[in-house]
């Protein structure tokens, strides 16, 4: 086999710019392995990349193969690639485009995939799981006994955020609409607030120690959430920044997730231990990737969608 299918963009634009190209099979460079892709997963940030909105801080050359997450099986090794052999099941966050049948990957960014779940489902873990880990532990500093409000718990990142905040020992109050409320409860949320039913503040019994915002918001909705945090508390947003009211003594930040294989290894261990479950809402073939982008941008996806080549 010398060629493979890959989902690529040759220009920036709406979902229709995603093409299914036949391209040469990649060859692993020194320190890299070749991974036969079991699945990648959809992340909404990649729709922003596809639209050309990330060129300012995450520029890509065209044509560009989509797919940051990978779960798959090592199919070949480059010289000096340490730690993996042909046949090993791996998972990781890549820049080399995993929306394809094969992808080359630096061995150093891969970790063994969890054995406890289907390999394809593990593709949902890297980017969303690492974003959640860094929001909850690094920036949010969630701790036992705290009250944590997760805004946007029904999404692909939110499922991990809720479970990791519970793992930290926090009381978790989570916003979700009707389609996600059951999943968010199963993930351990102590209270599920229907954000479609009225202001979140009206359903909260007192302020929270930490607000984790996972939703692009209007400035009015962002301003309504800001006063819900107690003095000395924290706000971490992965989407719209939330500014605390003047003099509120609340630490607020917007974060951008980074690849961290050690943290991914910790997440895999939590999945193996049954402490973190992966909320897979759908599994679609690679040829449907443009449709998944369309559905996400129309607000019609929830949880994680895995993409199978
Ligand atoms: N800064 C970073 O490093 C970083 C990393 C990853 C993602 N992101 C960004 O963070 C956002 C979330 O990512 P994701 O993967 O979780 O997205 P996602 O899976 O597309 O999130 C969809 C979910 O958002 C929920 N939602 C929509 N409007 C809401 C509202 N007003 N209040 C509460 N929930 C609402 C919906 O919940 P229901 O189903 O309950 O209606 C839906 O399930 C995206 O904008 C993404 O681009 C940023």
pLDDT of residue 247: 92
195 in the same domain as 99: no
pLDDT of residue 119: 98
214 in the same domain as 187: yes
Given a contact cutoff of 8 angstroms between Cβ atoms, the answer to whether 276 and 156 are in contact is: no
Burial zone of 302 (CB within 10 Å; 0-12 exposed, 13-18 middle, 19+ buried):
buried
Question: 215 CA to middle of ligand 1, Å?
Answer: 5
Question: Ligand 1 pocket, 195 CB below 6 A?
Answer: yes
158 in the same domain as 118: no
Is residue 265 situated within a structural domain?
Answer: no
Is residue 270 situated within a structural domain?
Answer: no
pLDDT of residue 74: 98
How much of the chain exceeds pLDDT 90, in percent?
A: 99
Question: 240 CA to middle of ligand 1, Å?
Answer: 11
Give the mutation target among 40, 41, 44 for probing the ligand 1 site: most ligand atoms within 8 A of CB. 44
pTM over 0.95: yes
Is residue 272 situated within a structural domain?
Answer: no
Question: 2 CA to middle of ligand 1, Å?
Answer: 38
CATH number, domain of 171, equals 3.40.50.720
Which residues on adjacent β-strands are paired with residue 7? 20
Is residue 244 situated within a structural domain?
Answer: yes
Question: Ligand 1 pocket, 96 CB below 6 A?
Answer: no
Provide the domain count of the chain: 2
Query: What's the mean pLDDT when you consider all of the chain?
Result: 97
174 in the same domain as 163: yes
138 in the same domain as 22: no
Is residue 109 situated within a structural domain?
Answer: yes
Convert the pLDDT of each residue in 268-289 to its tens digit.
999 999 999 999 999 999 999 9
94 in the same domain as 41: yes
121 in the same domain as 132: no
Confidence band of 258 (pLDDT split at 50, 70, 90): very high
Per-residue pLDDT for 224 more than 90?
A: yes
Given a contact cutoff of 8 angstroms between Cβ atoms, the answer to whether 172 and 184 are in contact is: no
Question: Ligand 1 pocket, 302 CB below 6 A?
Answer: yes
Q: Please give the number of the atom of ligand 1 that sits closest to the Cα of 131.
A: 5
Question: Ligand 1 pocket, 215 CB below 6 A?
Answer: yes
Per-residue pLDDT for 203 more than 90?
A: yes
Per-residue pLDDT for 1 more than 90?
A: no
pLDDT of residue 130: 99
Is residue 261 situated within a structural domain?
Answer: no
- Residue 144: domain span: 128-254
Give the mutation target among 58, 152, 256, 297 for probing the ligand 1 site: most ligand atoms within 8 A of CB. 152
Is residue 264 situated within a structural domain?
Answer: no
Convert the pLDDT of each residue in 12-60 to its tens digit.
999 999 999 999 999 999 999 999 999 999 999 999 999 999 999 999 9
141 in the same domain as 48: no
132 in the same domain as 82: no
60 in the same domain as 169: no
113 in the same domain as 18: yes
CATH number, domain of 91, equals 3.90.180.10
Is residue 259 situated within a structural domain?
Answer: no
80 in the same domain as 47: yes
Convert the pLDDT of each residue in 143-162 to its tens digit.
999 999 999 999 999 999 99
Using CA atoms, how far residue 66 sits from 10, 216, 232, 293, 307, in Å, is 11, 22, 41, 11, 11
Closest CA to 52 of 111, 1, 10: 10
């Amino acid at each position: 086999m010398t060629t493979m299918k890959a989902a690529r963009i040759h220009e920036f634009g709406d979902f229709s710019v995603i093409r299914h190209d036949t391209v040469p099979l990649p060859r692993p460079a020194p320190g890299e392995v070749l991974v036969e892709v079991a699945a990648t997963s959809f992340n909404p940030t990649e729709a922003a990349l596809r639209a050309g909105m990330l060129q300012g801080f995450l520029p890509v050359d065209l044509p560009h193969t989509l797919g940051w997450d990978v779960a798959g099986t090592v199919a070949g090794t480059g010289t000096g690639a340490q730690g993996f052999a042909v046949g090993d099941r791996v998972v990781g966050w890549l820049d080399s485009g995993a929306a394809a049948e094969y992808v080359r990957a630096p061995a150093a960014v891969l970790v063994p995939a969890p054995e406890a779940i289907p390999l394809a489902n593990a593709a949902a873990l890297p980017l969303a799981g690492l974003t959640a880990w860094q929001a909850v532990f690094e920036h949010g500093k969630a701790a036992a006994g705290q009250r944590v409000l997760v805004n946007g718990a029904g999404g692909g990142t939110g499922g991990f955020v809720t479970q990791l905040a519970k793992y930290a020992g926090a009381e978790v109050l989570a916003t979700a609409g009707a389609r996600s409320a059951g999943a968010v409860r199963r993930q351990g949320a102590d209270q599920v607030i229907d954000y479609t039913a009225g202001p979140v503040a009206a359903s909260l019994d007192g302020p929270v120690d930490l607000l984790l915002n996972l939703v692009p918001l209007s400035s009015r909705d962002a301003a309504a959430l800001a006063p819900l945090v107690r003095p000395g508390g924290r706000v971490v947003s992965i989407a719209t920044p939330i500014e605390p009211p003047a003099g509120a003594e609340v630490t607020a930040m917007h974060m951008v997730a980074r690849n961290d294989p050690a943290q991914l290894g910790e997440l895999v261990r939590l999945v193996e231990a049954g402490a973190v479950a992966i909320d897979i809402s759908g599994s679609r073939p690679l040829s449907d990737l443009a449709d998944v982008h369309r559905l996400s941008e129309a607000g019609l996806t929830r949880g994680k969608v895995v993409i199978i080549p």
